Structures are given as C-alpha cells and as structure tokens.
Amino acid sequence: MRVLLIDDHALFRFGLQELLERRGIQVVAAVGEAQAGFERVAEIQPDVVLLDMRLPGMSGLELLRRLRAAYPALPIAMLTTSAEERDVIESLQSGAQGYLLKDMEPDALISALSEIVQGQTVVAPELTSILARAVRGESRPAPPTGVLAELTPREHEILCHLAEGLSNKAIARILGITEGTVKLHVKAILRKLEVHSRVEAAVIAVERGLCERRNP
C-alpha cells in the first residue's frame, strides 16, 4: 500500500510516517502544505491519501474537493482531531472515503486504511452517533421493520459490531469465525438493508436502537 500523507504538523507527520513504515506500509510522500500535496498526487499516484482537516492556506476540505474533482476514484481519508458533526458530514459529502481520528489505535488505523483502499467507507467508531443524528436530520427513510426481521441472529450480532466500528478481522476474532465468513455475513446484511456501505448499516443500527435492545 502506497500512502501520501498531508499534515502541517511536522512531529505528527514524521511520527505517523515511521509508524506506518514499521507496519510495512510505504509512505511515498509526507508533506505539510495543501498545494504541495495536490501536486504530489499527480507525480506519484498513491493508493490512498491521508489528509488533515486543518491546513494553512487551503483547508483540508477544499483540498479534498479539488482532489475528488481531479481524481474521482482516488481513495482519500481525513485524519484529524476534529469530531465536529459539521466536519464529518461535509467531508463525507465532499467525497472522503474515511474519517479517522488522530488518537485511534495504530492497528485500527492500519485496518481502516486497508478497507478504504478496498473501496469501503470507514468512519471512526466514536462518530457513528453523529452520522445517525445527521441522517435523522435529513429524514432518511428507515428500512421497513420486515426487512430488519429478515436478519438472522448472527447477522444481527454482526450488525451491532459494525455499529461499534469494528473491522471484519476484529469481529471474526470476537465471534470465533473466519474473516471470510464475516465478509459473507456483511454482504448479506447490506443486501437485506438495501444499503451500499458498512457505515450506512451502522447508522441504521444506531437509529433504530437495535443493539440497545439486544444488550440492555
């Protein structure tokens, strides 16, 4: 995996670069300015861009929009300290495939990057409730109760783990099943709920209080 890191805090940038490289991930460039980051994308064609929300001269959101317009298929994830609802929603609406927090565990970051490169949308677990509030604010139609009833007990259990922001690997470890089996269950969950991403499924679980009822 080839990562381009754009963050204006030098100590964090260098520290994250070292951490990623120790885990076998190639950091092809680590820059502190938005324009430099935009130019490097064309030069090195990374597999994923990790982008800070706050940058001098041009905000991370502005750079995200420029990158998305120029490179529609490029995986881009925000990596920031901001847990503000407005930042989360605007980032996802602007085309970010991930919204990650800088205080997350290294293993969780590596797992999130892998999922983002594979085309999934990943949001820090702490932010699932923010997404649910935003969806309610937009009056998103909830899936019929009958659709939810079609979930098997195992699928229901895995859906709750998705709502906690757990990766397939983590879910497999908790349930004592293979990661491949988890992937099959997740595909079935998305199909039955008629959604396209784990994030949407997690939001539905939070909105409907499904896991609260299972674990009072």
- As a whole number of angstroms, the distance between CA 164 and CA 52 comes to 24
Tell whether 115 and 25 lie within a shared domain.
Answer: yes
- pLDDT value at position 24? 92
Taking a C-beta distance cutoff of 8 angstroms, is the pair 17, 27 a contact?
yes
Neighbours of 54 (CB within 10 A): 14
- pLDDT value at position 41? 94
Containing structural domain, residue 173? 142-214
User: Cα-flanking dihedrals φ and ψ of residue 41, to 5°?
Assistant: -55, -45
- Domains in the chain, number: 2
- pLDDT value at position 215? 41
- pLDDT value at position 111? 87
Tell whether 95 and 167 lie within a shared domain.
Answer: no
Taking a C-beta distance cutoff of 8 angstroms, is the pair 8, 32 a contact?
yes
Give the predicted TM-score (pTM) of the model: 0.67
Tell whether 119 and 152 lie within a shared domain.
Answer: no
Residue 27's domain is classified under what CATH number?
3.40.50.2300
Residue 173 covered by a domain: yes
Tell whether 117 and 165 lie within a shared domain.
Answer: no
Counting as low any pLDDT under 50, the low residues of the chain are 139-140, 213-216
- As a whole number of angstroms, the distance between CA 207 and CA 128 comes to 10
Helix or strand (DSSP H, E) at 169: helix 168-175
Tell whether 91 and 182 lie within a shared domain.
Answer: no
Tell whether 150 and 46 lie within a shared domain.
Answer: no
- As a whole number of angstroms, the distance between CA 197 and CA 83 comes to 21
Listed residues 123, 151, 175: the one ending a domain? 123
**Helix/strand/coil for 146:** helix
Tell whether 86 and 146 lie within a shared domain.
Answer: no
CA-angle at 155, arms to 179 and 158, nearest 5°: 55
Tell whether 76 and 170 lie within a shared domain.
Answer: no
- As a whole number of angstroms, the distance between CA 67 and CA 202 comes to 27
Listed residues 123, 153, 171: the one ending a domain? 123
- pLDDT value at position 144? 53
Listed residues 67, 89, 123: the one ending a domain? 123
Residue 17 covered by a domain: yes
- pLDDT value at position 216? 39
Model confidence over 67-100: pLDDT tens digits?
999 999 999 999 999 888 888 888 888 889 889 9
- As a whole number of angstroms, the distance between CA 193 and CA 196 comes to 9
Tell whether 73 and 174 lie within a shared domain.
Answer: no
- pLDDT value at position 125? 75
Residue 72 covered by a domain: yes
CA-angle at 145, arms to 139 and 148, nearest 5°: 100
